[in-house]
Structure 1
Amino acid sequence: MNSLRFNRSSKSVFRKPLDFLTNIAQPDARKKSDRDYHRRKHSASSLDDTDHSDVEQYAQMEGRRSHSTQNSQSELQPPVPLIDIGSRSTSPYPRSRSAVQSEDEDDEYETASSIRPLVGHGRGGKAVRGITSQGGLGHFLFATWAGWQVWVGFLVFWVGGCQFGLLLMNRFIMLTGIYKFPFPLTGTFVQLVLTHMLLIGFSSLTRALDRPLRWLGLGPAVAPSFPIVPRGAHRGGNKKNKLLSIARWLSNGSGGIAGGGLFEFDWQVAKQVLPLTTVFIVKVVLSNFSFAYAPLPTYQLARIGITPISILFTCILSKENISGSTLSAALVATLNLLFATIRSNVRVTWESIVAGVLSSIFVALYPILLLRTYRGILAGLVPQGDALTAGYPSSDDVVGNREETRAYYRTLHYTSLLSLILLTPIVLLFGDVRHIWHNIPFLDVPFFWSMMLFGGMGSWAVFSSTLLLVKATSPLTTTFVSVPRTAFQLAMINLFKIPAPSWVGVVLCWISSVWYLVGRREEGRVGVRRGLEGR
């Protein structure tokens, strides 16, 4: 019995350091084992006859406790590190904060779940959102095949209707209205000024409607609020020179069309947009010259070659393969429009014919350069390593991104601003302003300026929506929209009082246009299938 007590006391001496380590590693297990030990010790001391079985059980318990202590220490300090900091692999997702985003846009950053993945994912297993729910409209329009068809159809009818409305307003202002204004160059300049002002107002309106648009899933329509701030740059100029500060705010402040102020100007972007601006100015001026000095059938006849020229430019410049069905439908529709437009008793002037033929070249070239310029601006905004998908199908989580939105508004801003800069000296040197100031008596009539305002609204609608249609479809489709629209306006302006051969040409033109629509729709469906299979 004395030897047993001696062994227990010697164990208690060596147990204290071991118990200290055990309390650090496993405090709960240590407390439980202490309770068991004291209970057994109390029972052993209260009994006079302690058998050898209790001693053996106590020894086994001490062995298990020492073994668990060694395991816990090995778990706390593993021999091999679990994470190798030196070898890191890149994430399959783009950065949550883009390099082109401003530092003041912290409240608009996308969460990690809304970032467009570089690797496509399937659509199975996800519930379809309701159109009336939050984000449901944008999801329906841009992430489903039926919604994408609705969106493209809306753009086709919107662009065609705005072009028809602009033609009616120009006809009323220059030819058939009470106050005739036969100065196409100056009229074009006034419409471009109004277009630029309406672009500023529309961009401000989208910022004011930020929350409703994002709730509907139309967040990419909201114009940028701040310019691109490079790393290491800071806002705020010299406070002593107020004029310099105001000039810097106007050229590189906030707001405006593209978020960089009312007069945002970057030489690199301006060089990219300059060819597009030149084509746009020549197209608009020549078209208005031809329209102002010729009857409507002559004007349409002079511009009948827009679609064939667009097909030629698409094959040469865009390197696009056009299917036989699309090519046949486009050419047949153009030929039927030619039959519907030809008149035998119409006065023809060579100036209007030359202006119309030359404008056809630039009208066919404009959508191709518009899409190319937009993609060039977008490529300069997207950080290296990120990926974008254009058109349907888009990601389930996001229907656009900040770079695409900024590139869209930048293209509109620089094209409109450079058009005004280049056209202003031409208008002043041409001499129309002095003649109008001295010989036009109705400059103070509100009705005349209301007509000019409506014309500017039509110009703004066509200018801002053409890029959307080019992005959603193709430059050829954007050009072809004018063919059925021209056939409709030929019958509409004449109050449906046209000869029978013209009616036949109009009907056949519309049938060929439906043929073109069906062919392009099937090509789009095949492209969607290939895109989904590629994922």
Structure 2
Amino acid sequence: MNSSRAFTRTTQNSFRKPLDFLGNLSRGSVQLPQDRKWRDSHTARRKNSASSLDDTDHSDVELYAQMEGSRRGHSAQNSQSELQPAVPLIDIGSRSNSPYPRIRSAAQSEDEDDEYEYELASSIRPLVSSDVGRGSHVFRGFWRQGGPGAFFFGTWQGWQAWVALLVFWAGGCSFGLLLMNRFIMLTGVYKFPFPLTQTYIQLIITHVLLILVSSLLRLASRPLQFIGFGAAVPPSQPAAPQGGAYRGSRKPGLSAFAHWLSNGSGGIAGGGLFEFDWQIVKQVLPLAVIFVVKVLLSNFSFAYAPLPIYQLARIGITPLAIILSCILQKDNVNGSTLSSALVATLNLFFASFRSNVRVTWESVVAGIFSSLFVALYPIQLLRTYRTIAAGLVPQGDVLTGYPSSAEEAGNKEETRAFYRTLHYTSLVSLMLLTPIVIISGEVPHVYHNIPFLDVPFFWAMMLFGGMGSWAVFSSTLLLVKATSPLTMTFVAVPRSAFQLVAINLFKVPAQTWVGVMLCWISSLWFLVARRDEGRSRDRLRLEGR
């Protein structure tokens, strides 16, 4: 009876012990015995127990009893090891730091960002002292990470700073152009009251400056790429090889030179000095018509009306821009933006109102009609740019309005579309305006009746006016791309309030001061409203990804 019980217990233990032992070994709670003699004796005893179970003696039973006690002790340790992590077999403290940066886990919380950045810097250079990232290292790290371009186009604070710089630049250039036109046509030593001819000369200077600035940007391509503004470098080659360069199988001649001018390389958009594509001309033609009418009517109204009356005649630009944005662009203007824009416009009206000023009805009518084209121009400009960019983007790619990183701030297609929009708008506008200037008869009248055409100072003033026209022409597209057509149009409201008191050397009535101050306060309200709206759109765009 006792031998049968011992046989049963031995059989159960013979199958249970290896399984429990392997389970405890996989959990790391059992260490392998290091004594080789003990392992050999234990292996021999297992073989003897398997070959002759009937001859199992009392010593084997006691040995298994001791192993059963040790197993129960290890089971108790396993219950405690479930509450505490198992001790690894390799000492972590003896491991050396990896020469590569640690990859951040996707489950890491946002509260550990600062600690992660410190660990990242220390893991990249383990032999550097603890003050890594301080002093000059911060400056070097800033340039290695992309420089100003990465800050402006890769962070929310940088993007706000970039938009603020564009607003300041566009508003300042518009104010400078207004001062130059006022000095040339009204208050200067050499008055030139011919707005049509002056507009034509300024557009010619604008086109020439576009060519020169594009060439200079190509020469400075490496510094611009180093600071993160590589998207500002114009393309140097046409979009598709057309075989029209002034070299190769074509023989030198007048036709080859003309073909190089229109289908070569360089110029503004990379397709030659006078790049011309009928398909793109058809896309740009409505924008060029709006631009020419806007400039002509605005300059005509400005030449024959005082500044307050000129601003009163164009007071409806912002309301028209809101209406056209809702109709043409399907924009949802919130209540805060709408209220601030209308209140600022109403305060500008009170600041510009004069009751004892004589005006001509022609200037007032020209100013009123120019308001429609001024409000429509940024909308059509953005639509034309997007149409040109869509024709350059390969199928399957998507262009977004707001960059989420420095890499998305601009690509080759967007850069080429930007310069193509400037090139074709300027070129087609000159083509439309040339017959108008010839038919009007102003050129013979100016040639025979203006005695100061050979004065260098007069042409210096015209050059400065053309530089202002170039700055406004190029910055308008930049600001429209970065913000919206409504924001671009509204920038003229606080600028008009400032120029109203600046031109009069800050000697204006109290009524004007009150209107100007309230206009600027409303403009700040508009700024905060558009900033919150832009942040909400950016958050929705990121969530959509």
| Fold match (TM-score > 0.5) | yes
Equivalent of 1:258 in 257, 269, 273: 269
Equivalent of 1:325 in 336, 349, 359: 336
2:201 — aligned with what? 190
Query: What letter matches 1:475 in structure 2?
Result: P
| Structure 1 gap segments, 5+ residues each | 1-121
1:168 — aligned with what? 179
Rate the CA distance shift 1:130–1:501 in 2: closer, same or farther, 3 A: farther
1:203 — aligned with what? 214
Conserved? CA contact 2:231–2:415, under 8 Å: yes
2:307 — aligned with what? 296
Aligned ranges for residues 278-317 of structure 1 at < 5 Å?
A: 278-317=289-328
Q: Distance in 1 between matches of 2:250 and 2:174?
A: 48
Q: Distance in 2 between matches of 1:245 and 1:217?
A: 38
Structure 1 vs Structure 2 CA RMSD: 1.9
Equivalent of 1:370 in 373, 381, 392: 381
Query: What letter matches 1:407 in structure 2?
Result: A
Q: Distance in 2 between matches of 1:240 and 1:368?
A: 45
Select the structure of larger CA radius of gyration. 2
Conserved? CA contact 1:225–1:258, under 8 Å: yes
Rate the CA distance shift 1:432–1:234 in 2: closer, same or farther, 3 A: closer
Conserved? CA contact 2:314–2:367, under 8 Å: yes
Q: Distance in 2 between matches of 1:374 and 1:411?
A: 6
Aligned ranges for residues 370-409 of structure 1 at < 5 Å?
A: 370-393=381-404, 395-409=405-419
Q: Distance in 2 between matches of 1:205 and 1:217?
A: 17
Instruction: Report the TM-score when normalising by structure 2.
Output: 0.73
Task: Give the CA deviation at 1:305.
Answer: 0.4
Q: 1:153 and 2:164 equivalent?
A: yes
Q: What SS is found at the alignment partner of 1:498?
A: coil
| Structure 2 gap segments, 5+ residues each | 1-108, 121-137
Equivalent of 1:348 in 353, 356, 359: 359
Q: Distance in 1 between matches of 2:353 and 2:148?
A: 45
User: How many equivalent residue pairs?
Assistant: 412
Equivalent of 1:275 in 286, 291, 295: 286
Task: Give the CA deviation at 1:531.
Answer: 1.7
Aligned ranges for residues 512-523 of structure 1 at < 5 Å?
A: 512-523=522-533
Instruction: Report the TM-score when normalising by structure 1.
Output: 0.75
Query: What letter matches 1:290 in structure 2?
Result: S
Equivalent of 1:508 in 495, 511, 518: 518
Equivalent of 1:417 in 423, 427, 431: 427
Q: 1:455 and 2:448 equivalent?
A: no
Rate the CA distance shift 1:480–1:239 in 2: closer, same or farther, 3 A: same
Q: Distance in 1 between matches of 2:468 and 2:286?
A: 24
Query: What letter matches 2:238 in structure 1?
Result: P
Q: Distance in 1 between matches of 2:226 and 2:273?
A: 28
Aligned ranges for residues 239-258 of structure 1 at < 5 Å?
A: 239-240=250-251, 242-258=253-269
Task: Give the CA deviation at 1:463.
Answer: 0.1
Task: Give the CA deviation at 1:228.
Answer: 1.5
Aligned ranges for residues 473-512 of structure 1 at < 5 Å?
A: 473-512=483-522
Task: Give the CA deviation at 1:392.
Answer: 3.4
Q: Distance in 1 between matches of 2:252 and 2:156?
A: 56
Q: What SS is found at the alignment partner of 1:304?
A: coil
Seq. identity, %: 71
Q: Distance in 2 between matches of 1:286 and 1:237?
A: 47
1:40 — aligned with what? none
Task: Give the CA deviation at 1:130.
Answer: 4.6
Query: What letter matches 2:412 in structure 1?
Result: R
Q: Which moved more, 1:490-499 or 1:132-141?
A: 132-141
Task: Give the CA deviation at 1:241.
Answer: 5.8
1:76 — aligned with what? none
Query: What letter matches 1:421 in structure 2?
Result: M
Q: Distance in 2 between matches of 1:130 and 1:523?
A: 33
